[in-house]
Each structure stands twice: as C-alpha cells, then as structure tokens.
Chain A
Amino acid sequence: DGGITQSPKYLFRKEGQNVTLSCEQNLNHDAMYWYRQDPGQGLRLIYYSQIVNDFQKGDIAEGYSVSREKKESFPLTVTSAQKNPTAFYLCASSAGGTLEETQYFGPGTRLLVL
C-alpha cells in the first residue's frame, strides 16, 4: 500500500528543545514538501526538496531545518529558534518533473508546546 507516513501523530516540545518530525514515502516520488497549517491561514511552505541531497527554503523557513539523505525520507527539525511552533505540520510528495502533478499528503503531526 503506497503512501506517506508521518510520525508521531502528536508531539510535545519543551522550551529550548529541538524536535524532529518524521516523514517517509514509498511512492518513489522525487519531490517532497513540508507545510505548516494554522487556523484560517491555509498551508504555508516551510521547505521543499526536488531531489536527494538538495532542498530549498520555502516562505517560512526560519527556525526550521531539514535533510534529504534518502529519496523516501524528509525529516523536519523544529529548532529552539522557532518561537511559535504550535501548529499542524503536513508533509507531502509529488512525482516531480511535470508542472501539473498532484501532491500527496501524509496524515500530519500536531506539535504542542509545554
């Protein structure tokens, strides 16, 4: 069964702590994305990666970091520099290489600050 998995479903962060959100896909997609969703603001792009070992900042990259060492994995680290991390985080992937390809989303991780 192909798809995208995100873990954990809920994550709690203490002040000054870095936390890492996992995203794995078995769709053989080249491109992967991280979005942040806040109520009434839609989805905002944090980082995206078009190919292994390469990634670009999105619209709200400050306080976040990513890596893309394997095609199927695109973890997101929320650093202590991100002062307002409480949000719903969505990972997505797409086949890449064409303009119209659909994005496939994972179930999301809800991050809460203690």
Chain B
Amino acid sequence: AQSVTQLDSQVPVFEEAPVELRCNYSSSVSVYLFWYVQYPNQGLQLLLKYLSGSTLVESINGFEAEFNKSQTSFHLRKPSVHISDTAEYFCAVKRNGFKTIFGAGTRLFVKA
C-alpha cells in the first residue's frame, strides 16, 4: 500500500532563514509527487509537482523540491523564508487511478 510520511508536524523558523520540510513515501512503482500549500481557512493550492525528468523542481515563489528515488523522498526547501510563507504544507503521492494520498501536513511558522 502507498503511504506518505511528513516527518515534522510543525516547523518554526525565523524570517530569512532556510527551511526544509521533509516527506518520505512508500511505493514500489513509479509515482507522481506533489507539494500543496494551505493558508489559514482556505483550500489547498498546488505548489510544485514532479512527474518525470529533472529531479529538481521549482515553484514560482522560491520553493524547490528534489525527488530522490533511492531514498524515496521528496523534501521541500526554501533558502530564505518570508512571513507570508506561514502556512500548512502537504506532500502527496499519486500512482495509477484517481486517488491521491496526502501526508498529515507540516505547519510552517515563520517568526519575525
């Protein structure tokens, strides 16, 4: 069975510091990987996704994630965070069919 593990439930960090949100998945076959972001009392929005090709994918607001097949990881990073990055971040995995499996979420709290 597929599963997604987000290793940290909360990550506090100071503004302009780097951050890494960790995600591991279990699957014996090829998968598609996603990071979604949820701002307070809103729905989720796609941040970035890995489908194939280059293992490093980037978003328009400075986040990046690297697909590591050997470690079955898809960690999300940003070299310098802003207050506005405070949100909950969800890692997700999709294989065949229509179901997407979401991790439990990591709450990023950026402090001034």
**A interface residues, Cβ below 8 angstroms from B:** 4, 6, 31, 35, 40-43, 45, 48, 50, 58, 90, 92, 94, 96, 99-100, 102-108, 110
Query: With contacts defined as CB atoms under 8 Å apart, how many contacts are there between chain A and chain B in the complex?
Result: 54
Query: B18-53 vs A: 1/0 string, CB under 8 Å?
Result: 000000000000001010100001111110010100
Beta-carbon contact of A96 and B105 below 8 Å: no
Beta-carbon nearest neighbor of A88 in chain B: B41
Identify which of B32, B49, B104 contacts A42 (C-beta below 8 A). B104
Is B96 among interface residues, defined by CB-CB distance under 8 A? yes
Task: Tell me the count of chain B residues lying within 8 A, CB to CB, of chain A.
Answer: 23
Beta-carbon nearest neighbor of B41 in chain A: A108
Identify which of B36, B43, B100 contacts A106 (C-beta below 8 A). B43
Given the complex of chains A and B, what is the CA–CA distance between A50 and B98 in angstroms? Answer: 8
Interface residues of B in 79-112 (CB under 8 A from A): 90, 94-96, 98-100, 102-105
- Write out the residue numbers on chain B whose beta carbons fall within 8 Å of the beta carbon of A35: 102
Beta-carbon contact of A48 and B98 below 8 Å: yes
Beta-carbon contact of B105 and A102 below 8 Å: no
Beta-carbon contact of A105 and B90 below 8 Å: no
Beta-carbon contact of A102 and B96 below 8 Å: no
Q: A41-B104, A42-B103 are in contact. List 18 more A-B contacts (CB 8 A).
A: A4-B43, A31-B98, A35-B102, A40-B9, A40-B104, A42-B102, A43-B90, A43-B102, A48-B98, A48-B99, A50-B98, A92-B44, A96-B98, A100-B94, A102-B34, A103-B44, A103-B100, A108-B41
